[in-house]
């Protein structure tokens, strides 16, 4: 089974991106390749979500580990670090347990896309690992449900949450392909440091240097 790392990057990620790559070179083994997709779009935040939902068109790997340029690995990892008994791990939290801000931001967005209310918040932690076929089926679902491509849907709606919509889609249609971990019961330690690329990188350089030295 092959696993590639996929990163969608853009101009405002540039100060962070090189450290993300350095962390991959230092800590990541067993991955076949790192695929970086760059380029800008007038509606960049929405478009980068669309790009991630097409990651399977950029690599033929069996598994795809999707991460962001402003996220760096902090310890040695292999593809198996993000799996349990051969299945990708996906952290989920009941919406009853998440903050009101998170519920208000995403609950209606997910409901509209899926056509039913979600039970879980599934955008819990970078990175995310998927079998390539679920991305293909996710896009097919969008066309069948809404009559437009995922790109058309996201840009039309103006609000989307790729990991919440995909996560809840997989919970319903492909639950057997993942190892689901309810964070109300268990929350494994993070293997990455998630930052925010819109913040000055100077705020994080001491931490980054300590990790990558």
What is the secondary structure of 80-146 as a DSSP string?
Answer: GGGEETTEEEEEEEEGGGS-HHHHHHHHHHHHHHHSS--SEE---SS-EEEEHHHHHHHHHHHHHHH
Residue span of the structural domain in which 84 resides: 3-212
pLDDT tens, position by position, 18-49: 999 999 999 999 999 999 999 899 998 999 99
Distance CA 95, CA 145 (A): 24
147 phi-psi bin (left φ>0, alpha ψ -120 to 50, beta other): left
Beta bridge partners of 65: 5, 129
9-25 as b/e, with b when 16 or more CB fall inside 10 Å?
Answer: bbeebebbbebbbebbe
Confidence of residue 149 (pLDDT cuts 50, 70, 90): very high
Considering its fold, how many domains does the chain have in total?
A: 1
CATH number of domain containing 123:
3.90.550
- 29: how many CB neighbours lie within 10 A of its CB? 12
pLDDT tens, position by position, 47-94: 999 999 999 999 999 999 999 999 999 999 999 999 999 999 999 999
Q: φ, ψ for residue 134 (rounded to 5)?
A: -70, -25
Answer yes or no: are the C-beta atoms of 69 and 16 closer than 8 Å: yes
Give the global pTM.
0.95
- 97: how many CB neighbours lie within 10 A of its CB? 13
């Amino acid at each position: 089974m092959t696993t590639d790392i996929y990163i969608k990057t853009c101009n405002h990620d540039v100060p962070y991106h090189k450290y993300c790559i350095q962390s991959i070179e230092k800590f990541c083994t067993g991955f076949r390749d790192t695929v970086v997709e760059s380029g800008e779009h007038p509606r960049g935040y929405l478009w980068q979500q669309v790009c991630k939902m097409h990651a399977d068109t950029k690599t033929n790997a069996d598994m795809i580990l999707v991460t962001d340029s402003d996220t760096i690995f902090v310890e040695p990892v292999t593809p198996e670090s993000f799996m349990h008994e051969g299945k990708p791990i996906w952290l989920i939290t009941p919406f009853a347990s998440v903050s009101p801000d998170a519920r208000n931001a995403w609950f209606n967005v997910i409901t509209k896309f899926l056509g039913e209310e979600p039970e879980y918040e599934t955008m819990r932690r970078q990175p995310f690992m998927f079998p390539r076929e679920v991305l293909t089926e996710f896009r097919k679902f969008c066309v069948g449900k809404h009559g437009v491509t995922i790109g058309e849907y996201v840009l039309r709606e103006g609000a989307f949450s790729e990991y919440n919509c995909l996560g809840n889609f997989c919970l319903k249609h492909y639950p057997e392909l993942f190892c689901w971990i309810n964070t109300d019961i268990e929350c494994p330690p993070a293997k990455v440091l998630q930052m925010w690329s819109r913040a000055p990188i100077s705020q994080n350089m001491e931490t980054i240097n300590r990790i990558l030295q």
